[in-house]
């Protein structure tokens, strides 16, 4: 520790701290623009100049390391003079029209100018004007306001992983710009809006719609991935105007993904369902709540009286724990075991084998401390944008080695140590190879069950698999790590994999052989929470897949749009069409619900209280940020009333907390969670070494902005670069084999369903696979990973 003095106040700080760190520590405010604690130091704005004893010129506090005994003066005559002069320089070319600037009221320049600026400008020359740039549908630019602090540049390069903005030109011509004719494509781009200290970068969707002081701020939890990012929902006139991150170092630091930032536009969509609707003679009719609920109760009762298992309950994994729990309770009350939220899962062979609720296996910040990581089946940047950043950080700052096994070679924007891109079946073989390499490496083969050892006998280990095993074990080209912090993780695409159980078993075995952390980057906001709330089939009952394969007489859908959210859109749509009765609890009217009989308007996460549990097992409850739109009601209340109407026991909850209380048996959630999270298997499932197929295989990726119903309705996100249009993407080898060319129209067929799609050349896709992402055009195709045929459309 170093002892120093700031403005006469003694303070002890760590070696390597800068003056600004030290001042922040004791709450001495030093004005700043370019400095940001999460970014590299640029020291270019010069606003933080302070006086330091023994130095004849002021030093930038953000870039000057402290030394023992240093005496710093932040408010001395020379410091203030320096700060005021920099402020004057910043303002000479800055427009002084704050009342028409969108940043007004939350502008760092404006705030600091109040303290350091002069009332009168001495600058009488012509002011600089800088052309605005179009950098996409999310971030709006007003470049004349830019003060060249380069926070945006550094963010995209250092956190986003790609330098999409730069400062080009010299002197006064220095301006921030994107690549020629390119917009900023980072899935984290919205953060530059928060970072920009002035009104140069603002939110395009929010722009000019409200002043910051008119907004009420409500804390909430982000609902589109399983990170549990803490957000602030800003509200005016009972409408969500924008969403910003709340700072939470151990989860989202001070960032959020664009998906979490701009999804709110979907909440204000014209497709919102605001009154209960009942279909009569094929026509949707508005109804009052009472008759709608009674109607639903009666219809369900009729089916349940014969056999409760004729009803299937499908819960979207974005639903709250309370909604999931009450749905399950309702199902059990009606004697149905068919409840599931794992709608995109294809392989359920592990059910019954888990020792607890599968989770991430560690905490989020642990990721960036890891030395060696293997990510299996994950399109990281789409699935968990901020986890990709944590891993990027590990690679950059700790020289971590990240290896990848996947069928898609999408760039995670970080150096990848080893990667194995293979067919979906090939992934199983790859894991077998890694396991074999690992077991010979560790001479630990005895630890594997004999059956598995036998399986490995015939496996040939490739150089790459061997390298991955070495990496995970901490053995390197240049040096070995004595006890590496390693991790093996399964992503969303692994969870959707038709042989997920085998992937899981092998990954677990690999991890346990090398002592690595093993976990699942689980999908959607609440997949782990709904597992813990047991929104799962009871023993022997039907799961999300079999409920559709063996069509039921009735279905209850909670926040589900069947053909978008289920693994097999075609099957889901058909199942709904044939059912006698389908009730959907939904915030949206949707063409995907045309086959329903009743639609009950339930509140999305901003309009209801509830609880999500993140992939790291963090239980986070939130209150409604706004009142439900129209006649919408919180889902838990709707389910409670249905329980009452059906005369079921135990539905007398008077708040969502009461439901939560019951889920956790009256205990503190953390206490329960601790016991329940467990990735271990009781038994390994059987691994089929030989299974391979020569058929064309679909890779049914879920695009970044197709993840759930709210995101799908956010127009700005749909306009963004990563949004998805229907396409059949394949590598050049396959294109050649099929005699196709980029842009050709093809008939893409799965089962009995066919759609016409344009062909895209995409060499990131593995041989003999066709990337057909889920979107409006393709929603009615079949299994995400099913066989597919592609032929030129005439």
Closest CA to 319 of 64, 533, 150, 25: 533
**Span near ligand SF4 by CB under 6 A; candidates 149-157, 274-282, 294-302, 425-433:** 149-157
Residue 48 is a binding residue for ligand FES (CB under 6 A): yes
**Span near ligand FES by CB under 6 A; candidates 57-65, 118-126, 161-169, 241-249:** 57-65
Q: Judged by CB, which is closer to other proteins: 58, or 519?
A: 58
Q: Which of residues 160-189 bind ligand SF4 (CB under 6 A)?
A: 176
Cα separation, 626 vs 319, in Å, equals 18
Q: Judged by CB, which is closer to ligand FES: 48, or 579?
A: 48
The secondary element (H helix, E strand) that includes residue 49 is strand 49-52
Least distance from ligand SF4 to the Cβ atom of residue 128, Å = 13
Q: Judged by CB, which is closer to ligand FES: 61, or 772?
A: 61
Residues in the chain: 794
Q: For strands 401-406 and 59-60, give the pairing.
A: unpaired
Phi, psi of 272 (to 5 degrees): -60, 140
Total chain residues near ligand SF4 (CB under 6 A): 14
Q: Which of residues 58-87 bind ligand FES (CB under 6 A)?
A: 60-62
Radius of gyration of the chain (CA): 28
Least distance from ligand FES to the Cβ atom of residue 26, Å = 18
Which tokens is 200 given? Answer: 């140069």
Least distance from other proteins to the Cβ atom of residue 92, Å = 6
Beta bridge pairs of residue 588: 272
Q: Which does 82 bind (CB under 5 to 8 A by kind): other proteins, ligand SF4, ligand FES, none?
A: other proteins
Binding test (CB under 6 A) with ligand FES, winner from 46, 259, 328, 496: 46
Q: Judged by CB, which is closer to ligand FES: 39, or 159?
A: 39
Q: Which residue has the tokens 């929470």?
A: 529
Phi, psi of 529 (to 5 degrees): -65, -40
Q: Which does 395 bind (CB under 5 to 8 A by kind): ligand FES, ligand SF4, other proteins, none?
A: none
- DSSP for 215-273? -EEEEEE--SSTT--EEEEEEETTEEEEEEEPPBTTTTBT---HHHHHTHHHHT-TTB-
Q: Residue 641, Cβ neighbours under 10 Å: how many?
A: 18
- Residue 188 contacts residue 225 (beta carbons within 8 Å): no
State the distance between the two ends of the chain, measured CA to CA, in whole angstroms.
75
Q: Judged by CB, which is closer to other proteins: 172, or 791?
A: 172
**Angle, in degrees to the nearest 10, between helices 289-306 and 635-645:** 60
Q: Which does 48 bind (CB under 5 to 8 A by kind): ligand SF4, ligand FES, other proteins, none?
A: ligand FES
Residue 283 is a binding residue for other proteins (CB under 8 A): no
Residue 151 is a binding residue for ligand SF4 (CB under 6 A): yes
List Cβ neighbours of 582 (8 Å cut-off, separation of 6 or more): 554, 555, 556, 557, 576, 593, 595, 596, 597, 598
Q: Which does 200 bind (CB under 5 to 8 A by kind): ligand FES, ligand SF4, other proteins, none?
A: ligand SF4
Cα separation, 319 vs 611, in Å, equals 9
Burial of 526 (0-12, 13-18, 19+ CB in 10 A): buried
Least distance from ligand SF4 to the Cβ atom of residue 145, Å = 7
Residue 156 is a binding residue for other proteins (CB under 8 A): no
Residue 299 is a binding residue for ligand FES (CB under 6 A): no
Integer angstrom CA distances of residue 617 from 28, 126, 444, 677, 698: 37, 58, 31, 7, 32
Question: Residue 787 gets which letter from DSSP?
Answer: B
Residue 197 is a binding residue for other proteins (CB under 8 A): no
Beta bridge pairs of residue 466: none
Residue 63 is a binding residue for other proteins (CB under 8 A): yes
Binding test (CB under 6 A) with ligand FES, winner from 13, 32, 292, 299: 32
Question: 3-state class of 354 per DSSP?
Answer: strand
Which tokens is 632 given? Answer: 């919408």
Q: Judged by CB, which is closer to ligand FES: 32, or 618?
A: 32
Question: 3-state class of 761 per DSSP?
Answer: strand
Closest CA to 575 of 546, 541, 601, 599: 546
Q: Judged by CB, which is closer to ligand SF4: 74, or 103?
A: 103
Question: Residue 64 gets which letter from DSSP?
Answer: P
Query: 3-class secondary structure for 116-183?
Result: HCCCCCCCCCCCCCCCCCCCCCCEEECHHHCCCCCHHHHHHHHHCCCCCEEEECCHHHCEEEECCCCC
Residues 246, 247, 249, 255, Cα dihedral to 10°: 70
Binding test (CB under 6 A) with ligand SF4, winner from 148, 423, 495, 543: 148
Q: Judged by CB, which is closer to ligand FES: 50, or 506?
A: 50
Closest CA to 528 of 618, 615, 622: 615
Q: Judged by CB, which is closer to ligand SF4: 149, or 400?
A: 149
**Span near ligand FES by CB under 6 A; candidates 32-40, 359-367, 470-478, 757-765:** 32-40
**Span near ligand FES by CB under 6 A; candidates 42-50, 155-163, 207-215, 423-431:** 42-50
Q: Judged by CB, which is closer to ligand SF4: 168, or 695?
A: 168
**Span near ligand FES by CB under 6 A; candidates 40-48, 76-84, 582-590, 776-784:** 40-48
Least distance from ligand FES to the Cβ atom of residue 49, Å = 7
Q: Which of residues 194-253 bind ligand SF4 (CB under 6 A)?
A: 195-198, 200-201
Q: For strands 139-141 and 71-73, give the pairing.
A: unpaired
Q: Which residue has the tokens 């064309």?
A: 696
Q: Which residue has the tokens 């350091």?
A: 116
Q: Left if phi > 0, otherwise alpha if psi is -120 to 50, otherwise beta: which for 491?
A: beta
Q: Contact letters (x/-) for other proteins, 32-61, by CB under 8 A?
A: ---------xxxxxxx-x------xxx-x-
Q: Judged by CB, which is closer to other proteins: 41, or 648?
A: 41
Least distance from other proteins to the Cβ atom of residue 146, Å = 11
Q: Contact letters (x/-) for ligand SF4, 100-139, by CB under 6 A?
A: ----------------------------------------
Q: Which does 35 bind (CB under 5 to 8 A by kind): ligand SF4, ligand FES, other proteins, none?
A: ligand FES
Least distance from ligand SF4 to the Cβ atom of residue 207, Å = 15
Cα separation, 99 vs 119, in Å, equals 16
Q: Judged by CB, which is closer to ligand SF4: 88, or 787?
A: 88
Residue 309 is a binding residue for ligand SF4 (CB under 6 A): no
Q: Judged by CB, which is closer to other proteins: 457, or 478?
A: 478
Which tokens is 610 given? Answer: 């509830």
Total chain residues near ligand FES (CB under 6 A): 13
Phi, psi of 740 (to 5 degrees): -110, 160
Total chain residues near other proteins (CB under 8 A): 38
Residue 338 is a binding residue for other proteins (CB under 8 A): no
Residue 149 is a binding residue for ligand SF4 (CB under 6 A): yes
Residue 85 is a binding residue for other proteins (CB under 8 A): yes
**Span near other proteins by CB under 8 A; candidates 119-127, 398-406, 654-662, 781-789:** 119-127
- Residue 752 contacts residue 684 (beta carbons within 8 Å): no
Least distance from ligand SF4 to the Cβ atom of residue 138, Å = 14
Which residues would be at the binding site for ligand FES (CB under 6 A)?
32-35, 43-48, 60-62
Which residues would be at the binding site for other proteins (CB under 8 A)?
41-47, 49, 56-58, 60, 63, 65, 82, 85-86, 88-90, 92-93, 122-123, 125-126, 128, 147-148, 166-174
Which residues would be at the binding site for ligand SF4 (CB under 6 A)?
146-152, 176, 195-198, 200-201
């Amino acid at each position: 520790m170093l002892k120093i003095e700031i403005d006469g106040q003694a303070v002890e700080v760590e070696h390597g701290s800068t003056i600004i760190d030290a001042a922040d520590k004791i709450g001495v405010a030093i004005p700043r623009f370019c400095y940001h604690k999460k970014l590299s130091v640029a020291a270019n704005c010069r606003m933080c100049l302070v006086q330091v004893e023994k130095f004849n010129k002021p030093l930038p506090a953000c870039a000057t390391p402290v030394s023992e005994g240093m005496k710093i003066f932040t408010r001395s005559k020379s410091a203030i003079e320096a700060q005021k002069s920099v402020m004057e320089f910043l303002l000479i070319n800055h427009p002084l029209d704050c009342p028409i600037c969108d940043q007004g009221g939350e502008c760092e320049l404006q705030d600091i100018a109040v303290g350091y600026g002069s009332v009168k400008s001495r600058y009488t020359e012509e002011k600089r004007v800088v052309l605005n740039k179009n950098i996409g549908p999310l971030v709006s630019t007003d470049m004349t306001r830019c003060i060249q602090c380069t926070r945006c540049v550094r963010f995209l390069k250092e956190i986003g992983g790609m330098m999409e903005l730069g400062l080009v030109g010299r002197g006064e011509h220095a301006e921030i710009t994107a690549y020629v004719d390119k917009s900023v494509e980072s899935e984290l781009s919205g953060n530059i809006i928060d970072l920009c200290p002035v009104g140069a970068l603002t939110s395009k969707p929010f722009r000019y719609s409200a002043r910051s002081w008119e907004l009420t701020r409500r804390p909430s939890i982000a609902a589109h991935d399983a990170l549990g990012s803490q957000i602030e929902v800003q509200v005016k006139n009972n409408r969500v105007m924008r969403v910003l991150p709340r700072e939470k170092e151990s989860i989202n630091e001070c960032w959020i993904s664009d998906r979490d930032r701009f999804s709110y536009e979907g909440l204000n969509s014209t497709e919102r369902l605001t009154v209960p609707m009942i279909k009569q003679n094929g026509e949707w009719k508005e109804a009052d709540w009472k008759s709608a609920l009674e109607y639903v109760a009666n219809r369900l009762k009729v089916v349940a009286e014969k056999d409760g298992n004729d009803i299937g309950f499908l819960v979207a994994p974005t639903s709250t724990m309370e909604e999931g729990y009450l749905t399950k309770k309702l199902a059990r009350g009606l004697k149905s075991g068919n409840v599931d939220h794992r709608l995109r899962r294809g392989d359920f062979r592990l059910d019954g084998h888990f020792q607890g609720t599968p989770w991430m296996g560690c905490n989020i910040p642990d990721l960036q401390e890891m030395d060696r990581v293997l990510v299996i089946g994950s399109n990281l940047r789409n699935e968990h944008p901020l986890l990709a950043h944590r891993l990027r950080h590990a690679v950059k700052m700790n020289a971590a080695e990240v290896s990848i096994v996947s069928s898609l070679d999408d760039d995670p924007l970080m150096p990848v140590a080893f990667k194995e891109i293979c067919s979906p079946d090939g992934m199983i073989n790859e894991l077998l190879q890694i396991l074999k390499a690992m077991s010979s490496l560790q001479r630990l083969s005895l630890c594997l069950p004999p059956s598995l050892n036998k399986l490995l006998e015939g496996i040939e280990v490739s150089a790459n698999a061997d390298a991955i095993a070495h990496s995970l074990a901490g053995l390197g080209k240049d040096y070995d790590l004595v006890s590496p912090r390693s991790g093996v993780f399964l992503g969303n695409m692994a969870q959707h994999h038709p042989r997920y159980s085998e992937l899981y078993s092998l990954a677990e075995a690999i991890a346990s052989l090398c002592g690595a952390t093993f976990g699942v980057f689980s999908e959607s906001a609440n997949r782990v929470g709904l597992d813990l709330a047991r929104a799962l089939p009871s023993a022997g009952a039907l799961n999300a897949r079999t409920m559709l394969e063996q069509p039921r007489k009735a279905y209850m859908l909670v926040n589900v749009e069947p053909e978008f959210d289920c693994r097999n859109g075609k099957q889901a749509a058909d199942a709904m069409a044939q059912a006698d009765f389908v009730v959907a609890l939904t915030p949206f009217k949707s063409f995907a619900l045309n086959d329903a009989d009743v639609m009950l308007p339930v509140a999305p996460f901003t309009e209801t209280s509830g609880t999500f549990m993140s992939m790291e097992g963090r239980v986070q409850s939130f209150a409604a940020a706004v009142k439900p739109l129209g006649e919408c009601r919180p889902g838990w209340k709707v389910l409670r009333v249905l329980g009452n109407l059906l005369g079921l026991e135990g539905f007398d909850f008077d708040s969502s907390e009461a439901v939560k209380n019951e889920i956790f048996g009256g205990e503190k959630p953390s206490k329960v969670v601790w016991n329940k999270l467990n990735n271990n298997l009781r038994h390994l499932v059987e691994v089929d070494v030989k299974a391979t197929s020569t058929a064309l295989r679909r890779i049914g990726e879920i695009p970044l902005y197709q993840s759930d119903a709210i995101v799908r309705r956010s127009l700005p996100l749909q306009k963004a670069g990563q949004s998805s249009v229907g396409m059949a993407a394949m590598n050049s080898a396959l294109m050649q084999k099929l005699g196709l060319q980029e842009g050709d129209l093809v008939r893409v067929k799965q089962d009995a369903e066919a759609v016409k799609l344009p062909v895209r050349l995409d060499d990131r896709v593995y041989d003999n696979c066709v990337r057909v992402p889920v979107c409006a055009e393709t929603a009615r195709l079949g299994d995400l990973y099913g066989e597919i045929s592609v032929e030129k459309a005439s």
